[in-house]
Amino acid sequence: MVCRARILKKSTRTSPLSALLLALLAGAMMPTAHTASAATVSITKEQSGLVASDSLTSGTSAYWTFGGSAAQHNYYEDAQGLHLGVQSPSQGTWVNYYAGTPFVNAQVFHAVLTIPYTSMGGNDVFNPGLYVEGSDYNGIIGCVAWADSTGYYWAVQTTTDAGSTWKTLYQAGPSNLPQTQDCTVVTNGSNFLKVYLGGNLVFSGTTMTLKMPTPLLAFFQDDTSSPNSMHYATFFNYYATTNEKVTVTNAPAGGSVQIVDSTNKILASSPVASNGTATMLVGMYVLPLIAYMKSFGSSAVLVASTSSPVQIYGGDTFTVSGPPPIRPVSGIRSGPAASDSLTTGNTAYWVFGGSAAGQPGAKYTYSEDSQGIHIGVQSAADGKWAGYYAVNGNTPAYLFHARLTLPYSTIPGQSFNTGLYVQTGGPEINYVTCAAQTSSSGYYWAVVLATGNASYATSYKNLWFQWMNNQPLTRDCTIVTNGANMLKVYLDGQVVYSNSTMKLGYAYPFQVFIEVQSSYAGQLLFGVYNNYYATTNEKVTVTNAPAGGSVQIVDSTNKILASSPVASNGTATMLVGMYVLPLNAYVKVYDPSNTLVASTASQIAIWGGDVYTVS
């Protein structure tokens, strides 16, 4: 192998080096993987909001009290619901019949009401409804329907004098809504009233004067002035809940909570307040909802969920239980110092030069394409070395990588080499190279250390050498050094040389070369380089992690690429120099019990020198 002198401001190279065959020092270092259990963070119901419910299809009406002014009345239950019937004794005489509940501490009252008649003959009127009444029997809210000769109508009405006078808050008709409607009345009996009809909000007020002291009761009632026959309304799926809010506690502040059905449709959602509480409204739905309760962190990562769809009523309170919510891991410092794919055709990052430029008869060239940058050189005469390089002389980094291709397993005569060089930032020709050389005898890869004066290298030491032995002609070379005592070289992800007691004395920042050299005059010979990058170091650091826990870099297949225990100061450090960077992976943090407590929201680009923190 030949390693030439290198001076940034000159284009000459001197003193060929005869290759030194040393013992094979290749080794492999891979992170020790350990398995970890994912956190099972559950959401459980702490309190049910359901106060009362009756499908009204069971045939059991013991919960209800029946009464009214009508002498002719009837009721029965079947699969359709509670059929409540009433008949007037004479034309124009109003009578009623009702089914009432006990007083309950509830604010939401719901039933499905069907008015079977699209119209009534003559002056007949039929008027069924769901009513909510205060404990003094004066204030009443009605979600009602009626039919007369003009068609049928739906309305929301209130009274504060036990029905002597009524105020209409909403009315629809004639005959423009379905004859079966879900009626939901939400009220505190004082100032607040909201009414949903068929899931649509038809009235809402917060400054009402309802005069309905609590507790409240609900009743179904049919009113009619028709003597011609018994007229029925049907009531179905009655329930009462404490309110229309679903509350989740102990959720991650700044995150969100969702109610999600089995098709992944979001039925309700709410941001999480600073106290970890979120509140969602469900009064517009027929309850119970059968759905998942899900909690997300501030980075939209799912941190907790019910294990399956659950029944959800207004007034329910859920809590995020089990292990703490998964916290986000975010980057606070980026490690890349330079990066060039060497495939774009833009070579502005590099300065080109070499001894070939000053050697009469020598040839040199370079170009970029999709394969990389091709640097070519041809000696003026066999046995006379000529070199050509691309250099960057001010790279504030300690890790340097490029993919090198030696296109020739042999050449007709003399020698040709290609390499990645890291050289001191000072005037001396002191460097380390990861390089390949070919001749008529074959090829080899080597790591060489050179020292010299301000003009050329005077001493060479082979740190690692490997003859052909079916080695690939394209290899990833990574040089990691602090320029003082530490040097590590990876070849295709394997550590081929590592030493922490060296005396390099390199001035920082370093100079980086990709270079070809040839003593063969028969033709231009090329080296190909791509995927160059430099990073501040080969370490990935995570701070603010739980002491005694661990940190992992995990790819999309859940393979652990690197891991580290967390020190007492909450810091973990992982080496990634053996990989081609960036890694596209997750950073995951585990507590001492091996439970996942923090993670990046998705796969991210991870470089040596990156610093992350658990937020």
pTM: 0.56
Torsion of CA 558, 563, 569, 570, to 10 degrees: -10
Q: Which two tokens stand for residue 288?
A: 């119970």
pLDDT at 13 over 60: no
Q: How far apart are CA 456 and CA 519, in angstroms?
A: 17
Query: Averaged over 11-30, what is the pLDDT?
Result: 29
Q: How far apart are CA 187 and CA 316, in angstroms?
A: 17
Assign 303 a pLDDT band (cuts: 50, 70, 90).
Answer: confident
Q: DSSP assignment, residue 358?
A: G
Residue (of 334, 448, 342) closest to 3 by Cα position: 448
pLDDT digits (tens, 9 = 90+) for 89-144: 999 999 999 999 999 999 999 999 999 999 999 999 999 999 999 999 999 999 99
Q: What pLDDT is stored for residue 325 in this prediction?
A: 67
Identify the burial level of 193 via C-beta atoms within 10 angstroms of its C-beta, where 0-12 means exposed, 13-18 middle and 19 or more buried. Answer: buried
Residues in the chain: 615
Q: How far apart are CA 232 and CA 235, in angstroms?
A: 10
pLDDT digits (tens, 9 = 90+) for 219-269: 999 999 999 999 999 999 999 999 999 999 999 888 899 999 999 999 999
- Vertex 150: Cα angle to 149 and 156 (nearest 5): 110
Q: Where do the domains of the chain lie, and which CATH numbers do they carry?
A: 52-241 (2.60.120.560), 244-322 (2.60.40), 329-335+538-614 (2.60.40), 336-535 (2.60.120.200)
Q: Phi, psi at residue 468, to the nearest 5°? A: -35, -75
Assign 594 a pLDDT band (cuts: 50, 70, 90).
Answer: confident
Average pLDDT, the chain: 92
